[in-house]
C-alpha cells in the first residue's frame, strides 16, 4: 500500500489558494475568437482611445495629465521647480512609472527641441530630438515650469468649459479635454502607434494656422492653401514644394512631405556646414550613412565628416577634396542620404472617442465646433453666475428700504434657525436671498455699503442680456473665436522656420558620375585586387605580390564593370571596379575580404567580371558534376552587396569559371584522365545553388583535379577526349599529346 505524502505548510497554503481561485489549474479549450473578443479587443481599444491617438485638443492623455498637474501646482506663473517633484505629483493622475512620465515631459519641453511651440519652459539638459546620443539628464537635476502659451490651454477651464472625470483611484478630478483657444492639434508634431492604427501629425506655423482657421470661420469654402502654404518644423530645413502631394495631405490626411537639410559652403576651409536637418532623422544617422557611402566609394569627393554640434546648435561639417563642386555634391547627398527625407503624414485623431483620418480643413472645422461648444459653456457659466448675483442683489435692495427692520428681526429672533425664515417673511424674499442677508457682517449693515453693492444692478442686467444674446447668436460666438485667434497669432506667432523651395532641378541630378575608361583588373589567390590603367601598366614594372601568392585572374575591361567575388562559403560579394582607386603594379592592391567585409575565416575563390550580366557561371565540383548558372541570376534590382547560396554546397568545389558564350573546356581528374567538353552540352539553370549535372564519371577515391579553357591545337587528336554522351570518364593522354604537353612546358 502506497504511503500518503505528508502535507507541509507550504503545500497546504498552495492547495488552499488554488481552491479559492475558480478554474485554477484547469486546461480549458477556448475558441480563438472568444479570446480575442474578451482579452485582446479591450486592450486594443484602451491603447487606441486612452493612450496612443491624440484628441481634438491636440493632446494624448499622458500629455494632458502632466500639463494639468503643472497648472494645478501653480507653475504657469511661478518659478521653475525640480522635474522630479512634477513627475511625482503627476502620478496622482497618471498610473505609470516615473520614467514614462518624465519622457513625456522631456518631449514637451523647450530644451528638447521637438515641438514648434513647446509647452514646458525647461532648465538643464533635456537632450535634443535631432541627436540620439544627446541623452537627457535625470529628473532630479532638471527644472521646469509651464510656458506662457499654456495660458491659452487652460483659459476658463474653471468655468465648466470641459467635462471632468475621476482619476484612476477616484480621489481627484481631471479634465477629459483642455479648452484650447487655438488649434493646438496642428501646431505641434504628434505621433503615436496604437493597435492596428497609428497617427503622425506634422506641425504648422501658428500664425498661418490661426489665419486659416479665421478664414474657415468666415467662409466654409475657404481655400486653406491661400494662407497655409506648407507645414513648418522646429528643426527648420527646406520643404520641397509639391502642390499635388500637399493637396493629398491637406484633403485626405495622408501623404508624404519631402524635407531637405539646409547648408552653407565655407570657401576658406573648403567645407560644407549643415545646420538644419529634417525632423524625421538624426545627425548620427546622417553621418553614418555618409561614412558608409564614402567607404563604398560612392562619394569620393569627401575627405572627412564630423559632428560639431555645441551649445549654439546643430552643425555637421563635411570637408571636401580640392576642386569639388559643393552644390553638385549636396544634390547627390540629398538622393543618397537622410539629408533629404520624407514625413509620412497620417492625421488620425480621436473625435468623440472614434479615430478618424481627416484632412486639414476637416480637422479645423472639428476644432471650430469644439471651441464653439467651449465658448458657449463659458458664457453660460458666466450667465448663471451673473443671474445668481443679480438675484442676491435684488434681495439686498429690499433690505435697503428698512435696515432697522432687518436688524430688529435678527435681534428679536430667539433661535438661530428662525432668522432666515423670519427675514423671508419680513421682506418677502426667498431663502437664498435671506441666507445672503443673514451672513452680512454687522459692520456692513449700513446704507453706504448696501448702496455700493446694488449700484451695479443695472450694469449686471445689461450684461445678462448681452450674454443671452451671445448664446442665441452663432455669428457673435464666431466673432469671439476670431478675436481670440487674432490676439493669439499676434502674441505668440513666429516667422516660419522651414523654408519653402519651389524649383529643385531634380532632373539634373546625377547620382553616380562614374568615369568610364579602360582598366586592367587583377586578382590574386590570396584575395588582393588591383585596378591599373593601361598607361600605368605599360610604365610599371613587375607585378608586386605577397610572398607565396600568385595571380589567378587578369581581365581587360572598363572602370564601370561589375565585380563578383565568389568565396569558399558558397557566397558572392558584389562590387564595382569604380569603387576601387586606380593603383600601380608596384602596389599589393586592396585586400578584398577586408574591403568587402567577408565573414570570419571566409576566403575568396574566384572573380567574375561582367558589364551586362550576360553569359554563364560554371561551377566544377570534386564529384564530377558541373553546375551551369545563368549570370543574370546574380543581377539584383536593389544594390545588394552580398548574396548567399551562390552555388551548391553538396560537394567540394574545385573552381568556378565565367564564360560569355559556350566554349570548350578540359576537365582533368586525379586518375590522369582528360575530358574535352563543349559547355553547350550542359543545360543551364536559373537556380544559383543547383547541384549541377554529371559530366565526368570517376572511379572510387578519384576526384576532379582541374579545369581549363581548351586552346586550339592543344591536343593532336582532340576527338580522342571527346564523347557523344555525358557523363564520360575521359581518356588518358596519348604519347603524342604527352610530348605536346612537354613541349608546351
Q: Which positions are catalytic?
A: 141
C-alpha cell at 324: 569639388
Complete DSSP assignment for 468-520: HHHHH-HHHHHHHHHHHHHHHHHHH----SSEEE----GGG--S------EEE
SS3 sequence of 201-238: ECCCCHHHHHHHHHHHHHCCCCCHHHCCCCCCCCCCCE
CA 18 to centroid of chain Cα atoms: 47
- Tell me how far CA of residue 349 lies from CA of 108, 190, 525, in angstroms: 19, 10, 63
The C-alpha atoms of residue 1 and residue 23 are separated, in whole angstroms, by 32
How distant, in Å, are the alpha carbons of 34, 35, 36, 76, 222 from that of 31?
5, 7, 9, 53, 53
User: What are the distances in angstroms from CA 173 to CA 50, 63, 92, 93, 166?
Assistant: 16, 16, 10, 9, 5
Q: Among residues 274, 295, 271, which one has the least CA distance to residue 283?
A: 274
Instruction: Count the neighbouring beta carbons within 10 Å of the beta carbon of residue 411.
Output: 8
| β-sheet with 120-123: strand ranges across | 81-82, 143-146, 120-123
Buried b vs exposed e over 526-541: b needs ≥16 C-beta within 10 Å? Answer: bbbbbbbbeebbeebe
DSSP β-ladder status, 499-501 and 238-240: parallel
675 neighbors 723 (Cβ within 8 angstroms): yes
Q: How far apart are CA 141 and CA 124, in angstroms?
A: 7
Q: Which sign does the torsion angle of CA 113, 114, 117, 123 carry? A: negative
Positive or negative: CA dihedral 650, 651, 653, 659: negative
**Cell numbers standing for residue 359:** 484632412
719-726 long-range contacts (CB < 8 A, ≥24 apart) are 721/666, 721/674, 721/675, 721/676, 722/676, 722/677, 723/675, 726/677, 726/681, 726/682, 726/693, 726/694, 726/695
Closest CA relative to residue 115, chosen from 212, 238, 204, 209:
204
Assess contact for 713 and 741: CB atoms under 8 A.
no
Residue 120: which of 100, 148, 98, 78 has the closest Cα? 148
The answer to whether residues 238 and 259 touch, using CB atoms and an 8 Å cutoff, is: yes
Here the cell at position 264 is: 552653407
Q: Which strands form 551-558's sheet, in the order they lie side by side?
A: 551-558, 518-524, 528-532, 590-591
Respond yes or no on whether the N-terminal peptide bond of residue 727 is cis (omega within 30° of 0).
yes
**Helix intervals (H) in 401-446:** 403-412, 419-427, 431-438
Q: Are 140 and 82 in contact (CB under 8 A)?
A: yes
- DSSP H helical ranges for 195-325: 206-218, 243-252, 283-295
Report how far residue 561's alpha carbon sits from residue 408's, in angstroms, rounded to the nearest whole number: 114
> Where are the strands (E) in 577-635, listed by range?
590-591, 604-610, 616-621, 625-630
Helix (H) and strand (E) counts in the chain: 21, 33
Cα–Cα dist 121/109, whole Å: 6
Say if residues 242 and 340 touch (Cβ distance below 8 Å).
Answer: no
736: part of which helix (H) or strand (E)? helix 735-744
Amino acid at each position: 500500500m502506497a504511503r500518503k505524502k505528508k502535507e507541509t505548510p507550504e503545500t497546504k497554503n498552495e492547495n488552499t489558494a488554488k481552491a479559492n481561485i475558480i478554474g485554477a489549474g484547469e486546461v480549458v479549450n477556448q475558441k480563438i475568437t472568444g479570446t480575442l473578443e474578451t482579452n485582446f479587443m479591450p486592450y486594443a481599444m484602451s491603447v487606441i482611445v486612452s493612450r496612443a491617438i491624440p484628441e481634438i485638443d491636440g493632446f494624448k492623455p499622458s500629455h494632458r495629465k502632466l500639463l494639468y498637474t503643472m497648472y494645478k501646482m501653480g507653475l504657469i506663473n511661478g518659478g521653475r521647480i525640480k522635474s522630479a517633484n512634477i513627475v511625482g505629483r503627476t502620478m496622482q493622475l497618471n498610473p505609470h512609472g516615473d520614467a514614462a512620465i518624465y519622457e513625456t515631459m522631456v518631449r514637451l519641453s523647450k530644451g528638447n527641441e521637438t515641438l514648434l511651440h513647446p509647452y514646458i519652459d525647461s532648465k538643464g539638459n533635456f537632450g535634443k530630438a535631432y541627436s540620439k546620443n544627446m541623452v537627457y539628464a535625470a529628473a532630479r537635476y532638471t527644472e521646469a515650469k509651464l510656458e506662457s502659451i499654456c495660458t491659452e490651454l487652460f483659459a476658463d477651464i474653471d468655468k465648466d468649459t470641459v467635462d471632468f472625470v475621476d482619476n484612476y483611484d477616484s480621489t481627484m478630478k481631471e479634465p477629459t479635454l483642455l479648452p484650447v483657444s487655438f488649434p493646438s492639434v496642428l501646431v505641434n508634431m504628434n505621433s503615436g502607434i496604437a493597435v492596428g492604427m497609428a497617427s503622425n501629425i506634422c506641425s504648422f506655423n501658428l500664425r498661418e494656422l490661426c489665419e486659416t482657421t479665421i478664414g474657415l470661420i468666415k467662409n466654409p469654402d475657404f481655400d486653406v492653401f491661400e494662407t497655409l502654404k506648407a507645414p513648418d518644423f522646429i528643426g527648420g530645413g527646406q520643404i520641397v514644394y509639391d502642390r499635388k502631394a500637399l493637396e493629398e495631405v491637406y484633403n485626405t490626411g495622408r501623404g508624404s512631405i519631402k524635407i531637405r537639410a539646409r547648408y552653407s559652403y565655407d570657401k576658406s576651409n573648403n567645407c560644407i556646414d549643415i545646420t538644419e536637418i529634417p525632423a524625421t532623422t538624426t545627425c548620427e544617422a546622417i553621418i553614418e550613412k555618409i561614412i558608409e557611402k564614402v567607404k563604398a566609394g560612392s562619394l569620393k569627393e569627401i575627405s572627412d565628416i564630423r559632428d560639431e554640434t555645441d551649445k549654439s546648435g546643430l552643425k555637421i561639417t563635411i570637408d571636401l577634396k580640392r576642386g569639388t563642386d559643393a552644390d553638385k555634391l549636396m544634390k547627390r547627398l540629398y538622393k543618397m542620404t537622410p539629408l533629404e527625407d520624407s514625413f509620412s503624414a497620417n492625421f488620425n485623431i480621436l473625435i468623440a472617442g472614434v479615430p478618424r483620418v481627416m484632412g486639414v480643413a476637416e480637422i479645423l472645422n472639428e476644432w471650430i465646433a469644439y471651441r464653439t461648444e467651449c465658448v458657449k459653456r463659458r458664457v453660460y457659466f458666466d450667465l448663471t453666475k451673473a443671474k445668481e448675483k443679480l438675484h442676491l442683489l435684488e434681495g439686498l435692495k429690499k433690505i435697503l428700504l428698512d435696515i432697522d427692520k432687518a436688524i430688529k428681526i435678527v435681534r428679536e429672533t430667539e433661535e438661530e434657525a428662525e432668522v432666515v425664515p423670519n427675514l423671508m417673511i419680513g421682506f418677502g424674499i426667498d431663502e437664498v436671498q435671506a441666507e445672503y442677508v443673514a451672513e452680512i457682517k454687522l459692520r456692513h449693515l449700513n446704507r453706504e455699503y448696501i448702496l455700493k453693492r446694488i449700484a451695479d444692478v443695472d450694469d449686471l442686467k445689461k450684461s445678462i442680456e448681452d450674454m443671452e444674446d451671445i448664446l442665441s447668436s452663432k455669428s457673435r460666438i464666431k466673432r469671439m473665436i476670431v478675436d481670440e485667434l487674432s490676439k493669439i497669432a499676434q502674441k505668440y506667432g513666429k516667422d516660419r522656420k522651414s523654408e519653402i523651395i519651389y524649383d529643385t532641378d531634380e532632373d539634373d541630378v546625377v547620382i553616380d558620375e562614374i568615369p568610364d575608361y579602360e582598366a586592367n583588373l587583377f586578382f590574386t589567390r590570396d584575395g588582393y585586387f588591383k585596378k591599373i590603367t593601361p598607361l600605368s601598366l605599360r610604365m610599371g614594372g613587375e607585378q608586386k605580390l605577397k610572398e607565396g601568392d600568385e595571380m589567378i585572374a587578369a581581365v581587360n575591361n572598363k572602370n564601370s564593370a561589375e565585380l563578383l567575388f565568389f568565396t569558399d562559403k558558397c557566397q558572392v560579394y558584389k562590387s564595382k571596379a569604380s569603387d576601387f582607386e586606380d593603383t600601380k603594379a608596384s602596389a599589393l592592391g586592396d585586400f578584398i575580404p577586408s574591403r568587402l567585409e567577408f565573414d570570419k575565416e571566409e576566403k575568396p575563390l574566384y572573380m567574375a567580371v561582367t558589364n551586362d550580366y550576360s553569359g554563364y557561371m560554371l561551377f566544377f565540383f570534386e564529384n564530377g558534376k558541373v553546375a551551369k548558372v545563368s549570370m543574370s541570376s546574380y543581377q539584383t534590382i536593389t544594390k545588394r552587396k552580398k548574396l548567399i547560396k551562390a552555388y551548391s554546397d553538396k560537394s567540394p568545389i574545385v573552381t568556378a569559371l565565367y564564360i560569355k558564350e559556350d566554349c570548350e573546356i578540359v576537365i582533368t581528374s586525379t586518375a590522369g584522365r582528360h575530358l574535352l567538353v563543349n559547355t553547350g552540352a550542359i543545360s543551364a539553370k536559373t537556380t544559383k545553388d543547383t547541384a549541377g549535372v554529371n559530366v565526368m564519371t570517376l572511379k572510387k577515391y578519384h576526384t576532379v583535379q582541374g579545369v581549363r579553357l581548351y586552346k586550339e591545337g592543344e591536343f593532336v587528336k582532340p576527338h580522342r577526349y571527346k564523347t557523344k554522351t555525358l557523363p564520360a570518364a575521359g581518356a588518358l593522354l596519348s604519347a603524342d599529346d604527352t610530348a605536346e604537353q612537354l613541349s608546351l612546358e
